[in-house]
């Protein structure tokens, strides 16, 4: 450890203090600087024996927070004093009363708010929400509490390297979860961007490093491109005597990563990786016309994307943000985002709330930011509002695109909104997803299809015996989960198909037929499976019965005459394939009674939907039916999804009743045959024993009657099983 040089540290503290005074020199008078000096001296004295985890004097932190508040947010004397003193009451012997006596009630009130939220995330959820609520309650008096807290969080994020990995994850997760969206809401875009980037750096380090490296590699190329892009615009602006500044800036690492995830592309295929900002020096009454004039000049040189025009000048954002955004096609087919705004708009965009107050006197109309703060106050002052509900509502309003989910160890995972518990399991690891048997969300057992919310803590329960199921594809939303499930199902299918081929060879050999390439092709055509994998999978699961195999052999043995006849007239005694098609409804492929609508007469193969009538039950219409627009617009709540499927593809619900002599491992043997050997989903199971007699009622999803017979035969071979009875109905 390096020896501490106290003299050197004193010099550094003074240098940092002078830098702070330079940052606020325009906003503070000589008298105000004396008050800031008084706060600085008190903070130095209060923290004199304290050091940060990095080994640096603790006073570096409050000075840095005050510097961010002054320079990056644009706050004045009171905020700078509060930033310098924000940890004094929490960490030293000074009390709020001491602060009030020296600096007055306003400073004491703000520091009280900051002290209350110091440990927001260190307690249980209810207390955490209550503390967060207290923090926001101070909005009624002073928004500076939140602004200083954001400055405090930004400096903590900038110096996060010295903490343990676990603490880094915790603080970075909180930052992405609440602080970055809060900065966004208050219009502090530079802070929001840096908080997001640093949050990503400590939650997804490899992703962050890869994008940062790519940005470094392409920095010079981007600089040259922006100069070339800006040149004709600059010349025209000079011609028109428009006072302006042009800045080129790259997109943030966080937003580039979001585009990569959202669009499923790599870094090179994110097109608008940089933006050009044109700031016009304009009087408030001419701002709008000047911005649109510049837009006209830009689009004279470069073709705009009509879908990417954002006019926040005519209609500012809720947080007061005003700007005109367009994306244009530059040279070499590169998209460039162009932001056009006035000096006033730029200051509000950069410094948010603080700049908003500076310009408020010029605008008598109450701003949208004031309205937002008013809404928050109303919500907070509602006595019937529960604290936990409040924080949940607030989170939802802050962020809507992605959700942040925590593992039991506190690690953060990012998922798209609408993601399910099973999506989360696959996000952790493919094997955990494939073996996922159950999920606990916030300590409670939920279904795999349970939709997650930001802030949920999720635990995955796995089993070596679990295998992926086809119905999982109905509710997962992430491409990762879908592709892994499909891949695993295909692998399972292949394994069953290998066994199925052996079964097919054995059964056909019994009927004096050898499987050759020609026979295989004939089997595929006869059973309409499309390929050999599906054919042997059906043999493996028992979906093709012995009588169907005999039927195939009989047709084959009729020879060339029958083959030619079949070609022209269709095979004898076999119904037209369309007559074997039926309609199923909704995502669960429910078999329901229906009638075909006379207005469009749908036939198998047509795109269809069901309409729930008042008198005739479900009527099935074609998608392009003349009545479909009227039905969908006026009665959307009565529309059912519908599709044609082959009868043999329907899964049925069958309940079997098994009786026998109670013995150790009997039920395990039964479920092994059902789940492992026959690849069947068990929907429910109910077991009881009485005086040595065993009874099990098992509800299964099975393919057809032949398949169920095959299953019951295998179960009957188990020792001590005395009888199997069954009932059978549609799903």
Neighbours of 146 (CB within 10 A): 24
Residues 6+ apart with CB under 8 A from 208: 197, 200, 201, 253, 257
Token pair, residue 620, equals 């099935």
- Give me the residues paired with residue 446 across strands: 439
Token pair, residue 101, equals 């006596």
Angle at 344 between CA 339 and CA 346, to 5 degrees: 35
Q: Give the three-class secondary structure for 122.
A: coil
Strands 274-280 and 303-304: unpaired
DSSP annotation string for 614-682: SSSSEEEEETT-TTHHHHHHH-GGGEEEEEEEEGGG--EEEEEEEEEE--TTHHHHHHIIIIIIS--EE
What does each C-alpha distance from 681 to 370, 432, 468, 654 come to in angstroms?
A: 57, 20, 11, 11
Active-site residue flag, 266? no
Q: Which is the catalytic residue, given 45, 90, 161, 590?
A: 90
CA 518 – CA 654 distance, rounded (Å): 37
Radius of gyration of the chain (CA): 35
Q: Which is the catalytic residue, given 56, 91, 392, 459?
A: 91
Active-site residue flag, 649? no
Residues 6+ apart with CB under 8 A from 471: 681
Write out 131-155 in H/E/C secondary structure: HHHHHHHHHHCCCHHHHHHHHHHHH
What does each C-alpha distance from 264 to 19, 33, 270, 487 come to in angstroms?
A: 45, 53, 10, 19
Nearest alpha carbon to residue 87 among 13, 182, 151, 169: 151
Q: Which residues of 88-122 are buried (b: 16+ CB within 10 A; e: fewer)?
A: bbeebebeeebbbebbeeebbbbbbbbbbbbebee
Task: Yes or no: say if 498 and 533 are a contact pair by the CB < 8 Å rule.
Answer: no
Residues 6+ apart with CB under 8 A from 652: 701, 702, 703, 704, 728, 729, 730, 731
Residues 6+ apart with CB under 8 A from 123: 131
Nearest alpha carbon to residue 272 among 294, 293, 295, 248: 248
Token pair, residue 51, equals 């050091």
Point out the residues that are catalytic. Answer: 90-91
């Amino acid at each position: 450890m390096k020896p501490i040089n106290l003299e050197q540290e004193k010099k550094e503290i003074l240098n940092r203090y002078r830098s702070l005074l330079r940052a606020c020199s325009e906003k503070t008078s000589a008298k105000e600087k004396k008050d800031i000096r008084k706060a600085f001296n008190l903070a130095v004295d209060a923290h004199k024996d304290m050091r940060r985890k990095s080994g640096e004097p603790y006073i570096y932190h409050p000075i840095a927070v005050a510097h961010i508040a002054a320079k990056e947010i644009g706050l004045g004397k009171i905020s700078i004093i509060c930033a310098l003193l924000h940890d004094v009451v929490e960490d030293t012997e000074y009390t709020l009363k001491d602060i009030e006596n020296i600096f007055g009630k306003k400073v004491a009130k703000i520091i009280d708010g900051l002290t209350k939220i110091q440990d927001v995330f260190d307690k249980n959820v209810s207390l955490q929400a209550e503390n967060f609520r207290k923090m926001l309650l101070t909005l009624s008096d002073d928004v500076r509490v939140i602004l200083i807290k954001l400055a405090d969080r930004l400096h903590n994020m900038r110096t996060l390297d010295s903490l343990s990995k676990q603490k880094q994850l915790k603080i970075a997760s909180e930052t992405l979860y609440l602080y970055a969206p809060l900065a966004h809401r208050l219009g502090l875009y530079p802070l929001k961007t840096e908080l997001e980037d640093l949050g990503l750096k400590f939650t997804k380090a490899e992703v962050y490093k890869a994008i940062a490296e790519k940005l470094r590699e392409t920095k010079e190329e981007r600089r040259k491109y922006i100069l070339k892009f800006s040149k004709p615009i600059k010349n025209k602006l000079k011609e028109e005597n428009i006072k302006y500044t042009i800045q080129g800036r790259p997109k943030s690492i966080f937003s580039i990563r979001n585009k990569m995830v959202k669009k499923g592309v790599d870094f090179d295929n994110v097109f608008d990786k940089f933006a050009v900002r044109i700031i016009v020096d304009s009087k408030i009454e001419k701002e709008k016309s000047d911005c649109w004039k510049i837009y006209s000049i830009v689009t004279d040189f470069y073709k705009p994307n009509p879908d990417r025009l954002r006019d926040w000048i005519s209609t500012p954002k809720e947080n007061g943000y005003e700007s005109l955004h367009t994306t244009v096609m530059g040279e070499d087919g590169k998209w460039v985002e162009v932001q056009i705004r006035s000096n006033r708009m730029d200051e509000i965009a950069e410094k948010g709330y603080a700049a908003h107050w500076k310009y408020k006197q010029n605008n008598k109309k109450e701003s949208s930011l004031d309205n937002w703060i008013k809404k928050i106050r109303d919500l907070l002052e509602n006595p019937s509002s529960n604290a936990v509900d409040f924080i949940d509502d607030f989170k939802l309003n802050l962020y809507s695109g992605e959700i942040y989910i925590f593992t039991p160890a506190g690690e953060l995972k990012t998922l798209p909104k609408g993601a399910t518990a099973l999506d989360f399991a696959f996000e952790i690891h493919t094997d955990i997803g494939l073996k996922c048997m159950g999920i606990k969300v916030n300590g409670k057992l939920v279904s795999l299809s349970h939709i997650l919310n930001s802030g949920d803590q999720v635990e995955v329960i796995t089993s070596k015996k679990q295998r992926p199921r086809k119905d999982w594809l109905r509710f997962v939303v992430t491409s990762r989960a879908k592709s892994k499930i499909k891949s695993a199902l295909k692998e399972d299918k292949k394994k069953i198909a290998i066994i199925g081929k052996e079964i097919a060879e054995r059964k056909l050999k019994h009927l004096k037929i050898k499987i050759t390439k020609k026979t295989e092709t004939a089997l595929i055509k006869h059973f309409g499976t499309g390929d050999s994998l599906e054919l042997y999978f059906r043999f493996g699961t028992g979906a093709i019965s012995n009588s169907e195999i005999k039927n195939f052999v009989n047709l084959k043995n009729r020879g060339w005459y029958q083959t030619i006849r079949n070609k022209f007239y269709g095979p004898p005694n076999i119904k037209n394939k369309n007559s074997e098609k039926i309609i199923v409804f909704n995502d669960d492929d429910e078999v329901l009674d229906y009638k075909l609508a006379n207005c469009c007469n749908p036939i198998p193969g047509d795109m269809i939907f069901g309409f729930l009538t008042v008198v005739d039950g479900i009527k099935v219409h074609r998608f392009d039916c003349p009545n479909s627009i009227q039905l969908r617009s006026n009665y959307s709540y009565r529309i059912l999804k519908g599709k044609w499927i082959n009868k043999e593809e329907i899964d049925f619900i069958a309940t079997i009743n098994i009786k026998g002599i109670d013995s150790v491992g009997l039920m395990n043997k039964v479920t092994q045959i059902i789940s492992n050997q026959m690849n069947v989903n068990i929907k429910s199971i109910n077991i009881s024993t009485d005086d040595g007699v065993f009874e099990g009622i098992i509800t299964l999803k099975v393919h057809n009657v032949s398949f169920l017979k095959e299953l019951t035969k295998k179960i009957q071979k188990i020792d001590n099983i005395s009888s199997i009875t069954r009932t059978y109905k549609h799903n």
